[in-house]
Amino acid sequence: MLNFLRQVFRDYHHVGAIAPSSRALARALAKPLQSRPHGTQMNILEVGPGTGALTRGIFENMKPGDRLTLCEINEDFVRILQNRFETDPEFAVWKNHSRIVCAPIEDLPAEERYHHIVSGLPFNNFPAATVCSILDKYRQILVEGGTVNFFEYVAIRHMKRPICSKAEKQRIDEVEKVLSEYIGRYQVSVQLVLLNIPPAWARTLIFR
């Protein structure tokens, strides 16, 4: 928690949260891993794992033969994750089936293919064009029928609007437009997770 808060103060733009996600949210975002429509072995990508709060939900649902890529932009978080693979039994079990890529998602090779993406990115902090290009990247690297799973804090944009500048309001409205379009077209399930600070919507999208 302390490590997480340190990064919140250093780089709020990229971290965009006040606390690591709960186990309940981690489980909600990993749910599609239980149905396994693609057979037994899954290639999984987590974007923005931070200290690994959502990673625990993935590990609970990983099966032998699955592979996990953790794509994290922040070098300090990467060091924390590396340490967890050495010291935390929940992580150590999957060490040989996981890799950490220290880079922005934008730089992940476009040829790689994944069955399940968990995105922990704070879309509401980014310009709408960045949100759009990241969602397009997800679409590009997912196998047909693969799922992208992400969360949004409940009413976060409504809470931000009254306290921000005109330019910031415009950016938030543009982000909302992009997300609403994707959600309207591709969302296949949504779950309200109250046991999280703050409560969040866990969304699953399939690009068809």
Ligand X SMILES: C[S@@+](CC[C@H](N)C(=O)[O-])C[C@H]1O[C@@H](n2cnc3c(N)ncnc32)[C@H](O)[C@@H]1O
**List of residues contacting ligand X (CB under 6 A):** 14-17, 20-21, 47-50, 53-54, 71-74, 77, 104-105, 120-122
Rounded Cα distance, 71 and 51, in Å: 12
Minimum CB distance to ligand X smaller for 104 or for 199:
104
Rounded Cα distance, 138 and 147, in Å: 9
Minimum CB distance to ligand X smaller for 75 or for 166:
75
The string of DSSP letters for 8-65 reads HHH-HHHH--SSPPPHHHHHHHHGGGGT-TT-S--EEEEE--TTTTTHHHHHHH--TT
Closest separation between CB of residue 208 and ligand X, Å? 25
Minimum CB distance to ligand X smaller for 65 or for 190:
190
Closest separation between CB of residue 3 and ligand X, Å? 11
Closest separation between CB of residue 53 and ligand X, Å? 4
Report the candidate in 38, 96, 99, 113 with the shortest Cα–Cα distance to residue 68: 99
Minimum CB distance to ligand X smaller for 18 or for 143:
18
